Amino acid sequence: MTQQTGVSAFRHDANRRTIVLMGLSVVLTHLLLLVSGAWFAFAWPAIGMSFIMLVLICERIGRLVPASQRNLYERSLALGFPTVVLSVWQLGGDLGLINRIWFPPPSEIGKALWSVTVNYDRFSETSLLGRPWLIPSAYQEGGFSGVGTLLSESHLLATVMRVFSGFVLGAIPGIFVGVVMGLNQTVRLMLDTTLSAVYVLPKIAIFPIVMLMFADPFGEGPKIVVVALSVFILMAINTMAGVRQIDPVFLMAGRNYGAGHWQMLRHVILPGAMPVIFAGLRIALGTAMIVVISVEFLRAKQGVGFMTFYYWEVLVPEKMYAGLVVVMAMGILFTATLYWLQKRLMPWRK
Amino acid sequence: MDTPTVVRPKISAKHVGKIYDTADGPFVAVQDFSLDVAEGEFVCIVGPSGCGKSTFLRMAAGLESISSGSINIEAAPDSDKPANSVVFQEYAVFPWKTVIENVSFGLQMRGISEKERTQVARYWLDRVGLTKFANYYPHQISGGMKQRVSIIRALANDPEVLLMDEPLGALDAQTRVVLQEELLRIWEETRKTVLYITHSLEEAVLLGDRVVLMSAQPGGILDIYHIDLPRPRSFETTTLARFSEYRALIWEKLSAEVTRAMEMQE
C-alpha cells in the first residue's frame, strides 16, 4: 500500500517536472529568438512548435487532475483552445505577422460586428438585427405594420425565417416518407435509388429549377423550398434507417399487445427511430445552413449570407468576417435548441 | 404419440406445419406438430437450437402465419381478455417507456383508462417488488428487473394463455434461479395456462407439468414427458432424486438430437 502511493507520488513529481521543463523550453525558445533578432523570420515555426508543446503540457496536466476537478479541466480545454487561437491571431495582427486588411484581428471583427448591429446600411437598406430599439417609435408611428416594416430590414430575421420554415416544411414530410419507406418494402424499393441520386446532388444546383416553379422567382418561396428539399431528402433517408434498425422484437411486442396502426407508430416506431431521427436532424440543420447561406450569396436582397457577400463585394472585409461570426453563432444556437428538444422528446436517454 | 385426452384443451395445435419459401427452395421449419394443453397447465418445450420451437410459439401468438394445420386458443364466449400475451427475451421491454408504462402497455393499447391501468400495474409491480422503480427507465435497472417487468407486462394484460419464449435465456445463472422461483410462486397463485420455450432442460423439468421434446429440421414432437414432481416447487425440487432421473431420462434423447442437429448444420 505504502509502496503504491510512493510510486504514484513519484509519477506525479515526474509529471510536474516535465510540465515545468516543457513550459520553460517554450519561453526560452522565444527569448533566444528575440535576443538574436531572428524572431520575425522564425515566428511561424516557433508558434507552431509552441502549440505542439501546449498540447503536450495539457496532456500532462490531464494526468495530474483529480477526478473531482475533471469537469473544470475539460471545460477549460474546450474554451481555452479557441481563446488561445484568437489571441495569437490578435497578436499576429498587432505585430504585423498577419495582413490586417484581409485577415483583420478579432478586435476589428468585434468592432465591425458592433457597427453592423447598431447601424443601418442606407445603400442596401438593411441592418443585422432590424434595430429592435426602434420598435417603440415604429409602433407609435405605424402600429404593428410599422414594426413589421422595421424588422423586415433585418438580415438575421430573414435568414432565421428561411431556415426555420424550410426546416419544418422539409423535416415533417421527410420523417413521414421515411417511416413509410422503413415499413413498406415496395415504397422503399421504388424510392431508395431515386433518393440516393438526389441526395448527392448539390441542392444549390437545382435552385434555378426551383426558381422557375414560382411566380415570383426572386421572392422567399424558392429560397424556403430549396432548404426544405435538402432537409426532406436527408430526413427521409435517416428516418428510414432509423425505422429499419428497430429491433423486430419491439414490433412483435407492439403487435402482440394489441397496438393498432397509429398506436404502433406513436408508441413503438417513432420512439424506436427517434435517436436516428435526431442524428438526421443535426445533419439536416448543417445542410440547411449551407444551402440558405449559398442561396443568399447567389440571389437575395437580405440575409446573413447576403450581408457577408455584400461586404466582400464592397471590400469591407471586417464586416464580411462579422457575417461569418453571425453564421457560427446561429449554428451554435440552433444546435443547442435541437439538444433541448432532444432532451424533452427522449427523456429515456440521458 | 403420447397425447392425453383432454375434454376442452386450452391450446389445441393440430398438424401444424411451417414452410419458409427461401431462394434455395422451400424449407420445412415445423412439421406435423400436434399438441393439446389443458387449462392451467404449464408445458415446456425443449429441443436443439434451430428446431423451430420459437417459430411454433410465434405461430401460436399469431405473429407468424401457419402454413398448414391450425392452432386454436379457447376463450370463454363473453371474455374480453386477449387470447395470448408473449414474454420475449430481455430486450423486448420498451427502452423509451418507464417501468410502469411498460407494465400497463397492453391495457393502454386496449383502451383501458389511465386510472385503472395504473392501478393494475401498481398491483403487479408490488408483487415482484418493483414499486420503487415504477418511474425508472429500463436502462436504469438490471437485466433481472427488466425481465420481471416483461413478465408482469404479460400478466397485467391478463391473457387467456401466457406464451414465454426463452424468457430467462439472457440472464446470468444466479438471477435465473431467483426468477425461476419467482415465476413458480406467481404461477402457483394465478394458475395461468403457460407454454414455455427454453433451451435449459433443468428449467423445463423444474417448471413444467409436461416437457415436450422437439426434433430438429424439420421440427416435430419427438416425445412428451409427464413431470410428476410435487407442487409447489422451488429450487429445493432440483435436489430430489426424481428430478435427476427425469433430467437424465430426457437428456439421453435430447443429447442424441442435439448431436444430430449439429451434424446436419455441418
- Order of all β-strands in the sheet with B25-37: B25-37, B11-22, B68-73
Of A249, A267, A271, the CB nearest to B91: A249
Phi/psi of residue B161, nearest 5 degrees: -135, 155
- Please tell me the predicted confidence (pLDDT) of residue A1: 45
What percent of chain A shows pLDDT beyond 90? 59
A264-277 pLDDT per residue, tens: 999 999 999 999 99
Q: Is A272 in Cβ contact with B106 (below 8 Å)?
A: no
Of A252, A257, A272, the CB nearest to B105: A257
Cβ contacts (< 8 Å) between B62 and chain A: which residues? 256
- Please tell me the predicted confidence (pLDDT) of residue B1: 47
Interface mutation target, options B100, B109, B151, chain A, most CBs of A under 10 Å: B109
Cβ contacts (< 8 Å) between B105 and chain A: which residues? 257, 267
Chain-centroid distance of CA A10 in Å reads: 44
* Under 8 Å between Cβ of B13 and B60: yes
> Same domain for A317 and A175?
yes
Collect the ranges in chain A with pLDDT lower than 70.
Answer: 1-7, 350
Q: How far is CA A50 from CA A106, A164, B39, in A?
A: 21, 43, 81
Average pLDDT of chain A?
Answer: 89
The answer to whether residue B229 neighbours chain A at the CB level (below 8 Å) is no
Q: Which residue of B has its CA nearest to A347?
A: B96
Q: Which residue of A has its CA nearest to B159?
A: A257
Residue A350 forms part of a structural domain? no
Phi/psi of residue A263, nearest 5 degrees: -65, -40
Q: What one-character-per-residue DSSP string does B157-201 give? A: T--SEEEEESTTTTS-HHHHHHHHHHHHHHHHHH--EEEEE-S-H
> Same domain for A202 and A337?
yes
d(CA B261, CA B266): 9
The answer to whether residue A271 neighbours chain B at the CB level (below 8 Å) is yes
User: Which of A187, A117, A128 shows the shortest CA–CA distance to A153?
Assistant: A128
A20-57 pLDDT per residue, tens: 999 999 999 999 998 998 888 888 899 999 999 999 99
Q: Is B18 helix (H, G, I), strand (E, B) or coil?
A: strand
Q: Is B7 helix (H, G, I), strand (E, B) or coil?
A: coil
Q: Is A267 in Cβ contact with B105 (below 8 Å)?
A: yes
Q: How far is CA A222 from CA A148, A156, B37, in A?
A: 22, 18, 67
- Please tell me the predicted confidence (pLDDT) of residue A216: 85
> Phi-psi region for residue B37, left (φ > 0), alpha (ψ -120 to 50) or beta?
beta
Interface mutation target, options B89, B105, B157, B166, chain A, most CBs of A under 10 Å: B105
Q: Is A252 in Cβ contact with B106 (below 8 Å)?
A: no
Other beta carbons within 10 Å of B60: 24
The answer to whether residue A247 neighbours chain B at the CB level (below 8 Å) is yes
- Please tell me the predicted confidence (pLDDT) of residue B49: 83
- Please tell me the predicted confidence (pLDDT) of residue B181: 93
The answer to whether residue B48 neighbours chain A at the CB level (below 8 Å) is no
Residue A117 forms part of a structural domain? no
Residue A108 forms part of a structural domain? no
> Same domain for A160 and A277?
yes
Of B61, B94, B157, the CB nearest to A250: B94
- Please tell me the predicted confidence (pLDDT) of residue A349: 80
B74-93 pLDDT per residue, tens: 887 777 888 899 999 766 89
The answer to whether residue A346 neighbours chain B at the CB level (below 8 Å) is yes
Q: Is B96 in Cβ contact with A274 (below 8 Å)?
A: yes
Min Cα distance A268 → chain B (Å) is: 8
Q: Which residue of A has its CA nearest to B153?
A: A257
Cβ contacts (< 8 Å) between B146 and chain A: which residues? none
* Under 8 Å between Cβ of A193 and A200: no
The answer to whether residue B27 neighbours chain A at the CB level (below 8 Å) is no
User: Which of A300, A308, A163, A305 shows the shortest CA–CA distance to A226?
Assistant: A163
Q: Which residue of A has its CA nearest to B104?
A: A257
Per-residue pLDDT 10s for chain B (266 aa) are 455 554 678 899 999 999 999 888 888 889 999 999 999 999 999 988 888 888 999 999 999 999 999 998 988 777 788 889 999 976 689 999 999 999 999 999 999 999 999 999 999 999 989 999 999 999 999 988 999 999 999 999 999 999 999 999 888 889 899 999 999 999 999 899 999 999 899 999 999 999 999 998 888 999 999 999 998 898 889 999 999 999 999 999 999 888 888 888 76
A316-333 pLDDT per residue, tens: 899 999 999 999 999 999
> Same domain for A156 and A300?
yes
Q: Residue A158 is part of which domain span? A: 148-345
Of A249, A259, A346, the CB nearest to B92: A249
User: Which of A52, A43, A33, A51 shows the shortest CA–CA distance to A95?
Assistant: A43
Q: Which residue of A has its CA nearest to B93?
A: A250
The answer to whether residue B226 neighbours chain A at the CB level (below 8 Å) is no
Task: Give the count of alpha carbons within 13 A of A298, CB side only.
Answer: 19
> Same domain for A157 and A89?
no
> Chain B 74-103, CB below 8 Å of chain A: which residues?
82, 84-86, 88-89, 91-92, 94-98
Residue A219 forms part of a structural domain? yes
Residue A301 forms part of a structural domain? yes
Interface mutation target, options A247, A252, A256, chain B, most CBs of B under 10 Å: A256
B50: Cβ–Cβ under 8 A, 6 or more apart, which residues? Answer: B216, B217, B261, B265
Of the options 3.40.50.300, 3.30.70.1520, 3.40.630.30, 3.40.50.11310, the CATH number for the domain spanning B1-74+192-266: 3.40.50.300
- Please tell me the predicted confidence (pLDDT) of residue B118: 94
> Same domain for A68 and A153?
no
- Please tell me the predicted confidence (pLDDT) of residue A323: 92
The tally of domains found in chain A comes to 2
The answer to whether residue A265 neighbours chain B at the CB level (below 8 Å) is no
Q: Is B256 helix (H, G, I), strand (E, B) or coil?
A: helix
User: Which of A27, A75, A74, A33 shows the shortest CA–CA distance to A54?
Assistant: A27
Q: Is B91 in Cβ contact with A267 (below 8 Å)?
A: no
State which amino acid sits at residue A21.
L
d(CA A40, CA A36): 11
Q: Is A268 in Cβ contact with B62 (below 8 Å)?
A: no
> Same domain for A316 and A185?
yes
- Please tell me the predicted confidence (pLDDT) of residue B169: 86
d(CA B227, CA B174): 24
Min Cα distance B180 → chain A (Å) is: 22
> Same domain for A202 and A53?
no
- Please tell me the predicted confidence (pLDDT) of residue A13: 82
Task: Give the count of alpha carbons within 13 A of A102, CB side only.
Answer: 3
Q: Where among A95, A129, A163 does a domain terminate? A: A95
Q: What one-character-per-residue DSSP string does A72-107 give? A: HHHHHHHHHHHHHHHHHHHHHHHHTSS-TTTS--HH
d(CA B68, CA B70): 7
Q: Is A260 in Cβ contact with B96 (below 8 Å)?
A: no
> Same domain for A157 and A284?
yes
d(CA B189, CA B124): 13
> Same domain for A88 and A170?
no
- Please tell me the predicted confidence (pLDDT) of residue A181: 94
d(CA A182, CA A188): 7
B145-157 pLDDT per residue, tens: 999 999 999 999 9
The answer to whether residue B157 neighbours chain A at the CB level (below 8 Å) is yes
The whole model's pTM is what? 0.84
- Tell the residue number behind the cell numbers 420459437, with chain if given: B54
Helix axes A317-345, A106-118, angle to 10 degrees: 80
The answer to whether residue B15 neighbours chain A at the CB level (below 8 Å) is no
Q: Is A260 in Cβ contact with B88 (below 8 Å)?
A: no
Of A253, A263, A348, the CB nearest to B88: A253
C-alpha dihedral (B137, B141, B142, B148), degrees to nearest 10 = -70
The CATH number that applies at residue A201 is 1.10.3720.10
Q: Is B109 in Cβ contact with A259 (below 8 Å)?
A: yes
